[in-house]
Structure 1
């Protein structure tokens, strides 16, 4: 049994403030392709609100349906078929909240209509919060997929699982879940709850109490045994401490380190004398070495200065010869640079004159082009004015529009008048006058014939008598109701200045046609007034009109004057190109001449610097030689240097002998040895004091704990521990038996659940194989898709890519829809912006599956991606 939605009408529902109708929905595939922000998602929310939300509710979700800033009543109307039978639903929220459901069983309003709707479509009533609760919406809650919900691979709701389970009962065999099974399981659960808590299996009540008793008894035994062991350890520690104290006292009275300490002190004095002699020899060696280094440095510096002096003299002579050659070349380069600069000035003047002529010619041509564009703008304004003149009759037709609610009220009033007339015709008294003359009715002559008596009537008889006819009170009330209905009908016709309902409907249809015509006219006006970047003109009729007002066009101004006949723009541009080329050549020649002059100057600069540097070096070297000759040791440097070398050698030999003497004694090691003797005695004295304090504390503890009967307490604790452990073993055996029994029943129920999920997986596998060849879907006990098996490996759904999750969510919905359709449940598919993460190949495969599904049920696809679905054959719906 398929659910077929044929018409959706909205008013005061979010962005749809004015009455708006989407009609023409058919069996099969219906595609609504519109850009973002046009109301596709709002359309789906309106359908869900009309079917699943109570008209009397005022939740936050329902208040969000009101247009922003308006305090009005959102209204939705639906025409739909269920199992081929037509139904009509109108629901209004918040302001004058109401609901009316009409169908084969008649018309119902209020709560009766809500209950009938729930029974018809198989969903539950419930309090909706900030969003739609899909778990209450039955099959349609899963199959009508809002934006982003298509990404979720989720389990069906509990009531939907019941429907699917009933569908598969014949395939899976009898379900474990009968009354006897439930009574047994309830009794086992009651006993199980005395030992464990719910699904977590945490010990509670009897088992927890037994465990606490065993733990407490074990802790008591451990504490008693610990205290007993501590007392025995105190006796042992006291005896050991007394023995250690006696040993320390003997060591302190007979010091074993006294003889060695005296020997170490004597050796330390000898080591200090050797160290003093070593320091003296180091000072003498350092003085001799410093004297030798100074004399050798003086000799080395004098020889190096003589070598630098000879090198500087040779470099100065070479540099002077090269400078004389470069001076003549520099004069020639400067003369050539002056000549090229003069030629460059001449070509610059020619180039400027050519550019001025071209600029003037281009300005004249631009003025001509702008005048032509302004003339074209004047023509477009004429077209816009002609189009705007056609708005008046359309606006007049739009003002004559009769609202849809008024049409419904008129139709209802007519139906009410007809109903009351029919009742009066059926229940009224028929009166007939045959052959009499001179008879009157309520003062007017009465002709022979038949009429229906519905109110008190006075019949005037010949001769002055009068016959009064009075109908029943119920018939009089029916006549009053008819009068009231006719009065309301007439008032509505008079209010909207129409003679009949057909005239009102014609005016409404004319208004709709005028609306469509105005939209077309607005598009044509916008096309006739496009943006013009050259004129800095934005799109729109008002902008165009303001521009024309600022730029009036004189008669004949559209024709721009021609260029001067002497020279055309192309000839002037050719002159400019030739002048630019001549200037470029002259500029390059002048630049090259300048570069040659600079290169000549640059080549001369390093030589001049080298010549000056050589002269400076010679002067500095002469000063250095004079300074070295003034040194007191320079006069007899060779003999003084030989004597210094002999003195340094003798000092080095004496230093080596002193180091040998000093190495025979390690002063640091001797000092460390003395410190070790002192630390050893200090430690022994500190340990003696610690042992005295420890012995005093142990004696006090032994005296205190010795009389508390620790052994008796330990024995009693051991007896209680044995009893508690025995009780715990017995209760744990009872608990494990109940756990095993409960698990066995759960396994039996799970096995049956798996026999249910098998057919679901088989149905889904046919679809999954189309996009994931060789993949096998696996469903959980709650009929949710849990994993995909590929190449022998199970992959959890949440680990798959977003695109694959979206595709699997769609495929499982198709599988469930087919099962529900087979059992005669009302099913349809609404998809809001589906398959946003699919690649091109899978998108084509999924599109084919959707098209195939539309052959079995109605599918409404809301999307903004025209390119992805333009090739599909379907009913195209515009919002």
Structure 2
């Protein structure tokens, strides 16, 4: 099964608008919402729609209901490659429909639809099927997963040769086929089957015998029941053989001793192999280091020769650059002298250009001053509008919302405190509830209504919880009105509008402040100072201008500047080249000194002959260790192939054999008590007389039908017993092979806890953790580690169910509460791992921690109103 979408209305916090979650994918799906948004209610509503009959509404399910309508739910899911939709309505107009979305047809309705869904979900013997194992509610993340048969039954495909083979499977299939002709998969009488038809005919006949039914028929029925119980006693007594059980226990204990000896030898060989592998790695490292040292010596001598040649070439190039720099310096001195002469001629022209520039700057400052005054006036107007609004912040709005929710919840609770009154007024008495006139008969009175009797008075329901709720209602209303008065508003909507208006005004003021900063970064006074300073400079420049004689000497200033710039550029380039040469020379000299020191510090054993001798010795040592490692691996594999060495397998077998003997003894005791009670009741009613001839005829007919029903029931009981016996024989062998579950769990566990191993109980649940040579029971572990093991075990079960052909979604509601940051990151990696690949799990992760959800990733789902399509 894979969930595709679900929708609910009038459950939890979701009213008439309802809630819809769609867009599910086969892999990881995430819903992250803050508290009170109804995440946990989604999981409770999903369980209710899938598993609760539409004719039932009580307990946890009833607490989900809102007071504004009848609960309705839809679940879209995919099973065996086809898309379906389950629709359920509770309380009013109760109904169930199973729709095939591919064809658009209604597959089944009411009880038949629920039975069809139960078969799809695997609800054979458990109330919730695999979901009871894989769906974790908020606060239950530390509860350890225990298999109720859902996972073990999926191991058959891998262990079929160990549990009876194809012949046992054929017997089981034939038994179930004949049994399901009489009963449904959930053990109910199948509609239209032989047993159902016989029971219907018997009920019709017995309805005609209501007056004439006598103790004789009851006595006969008791006799049949007594015979059935005696038959069960006989069958149970023949099932066990005490001598055989003692022999099996003795053999199991002997096998346990051998397994413990074999496990000790296996551990010793494993430790030896690890030590030899470590020594091999060290020998290989020494050989690699020797080769690297030899190559380093040869490379050092080559580098010395190459670096010496490069130093000689750079020294020659440096001398040429120095000569060129001397010539450039002499040429620059002549150009600077001609430039000084040209500057004297341009002084008068520069003064005029400066005066024009200062006039332009003065006009710009005047324009900015006028614009600044306009913007400042606009800002003052916005500040006045802001100050006229009520002083409201987000905390006040949240407080209003909280009080409104408390008010609604208290009124809802008051409406549920009710009582039924049976009234019988005289004809001239007028009674009303609100504006409605009350007539004689039963009336419903709750804590929010009052029965008014004209001329008499008022009747109000007095209940301790109602008084408490009324006090809470009054306090909440007073607090809400006080908050409105303090803030100067009349409703949360008006407060929200005032807050939004204040925010808009503050945004406008911030924009105006940015404009003021752009116009006058240093303030308005700075602009005024700049205006006065520019005016003074203009007056000074105007006074400096006078008639000056024109120098007749003509110098081409453009050509002079171009030549001067070109010469300086050549000088800078030459200086840059000289600096680069000096850096390269320093670098080469340092490398040369380093290589010479390396050669000087080389040991005497670094001669070619000695290096060759050392290489031979190291290579021989590495080859010898490699041979020892292969020999150790062969010995270890041979030891493992000799048979199972896990003592836990034989300990489980001993426990199972003891439990079988105890269960048979308890069953015999119970059956003998039932037989004694039936015999006593039969003797008490045995003296009843026979009815008249008509009753005798009808009783004969009833006896015939009862025989038919009894025959079908006995056949159904026998088929059920045969089916259960076949399954028990398979399961008793499967209990000895927990390896598939452990092999599925270990890779996931070690991704989170390095080097960890796990111990499984007879129900395939984790009961101990082994790491670093230490064996800890589950109770001794931290809360975070227990929580992580519980979630990993459920993921392993889910993968086995998928491999067994019956995938089921995993749902985790606010799990990983106790995980540290490192473990949480690893758990998130595991969730991505199991929800990807060829057979990905479908996982729905519900969280109220937005940051953790962002770190998890996956397909993010959102809650939206349910819009009818």
TM-score normalised over the length of structure 1: 0.33
Max Rg structure: 1
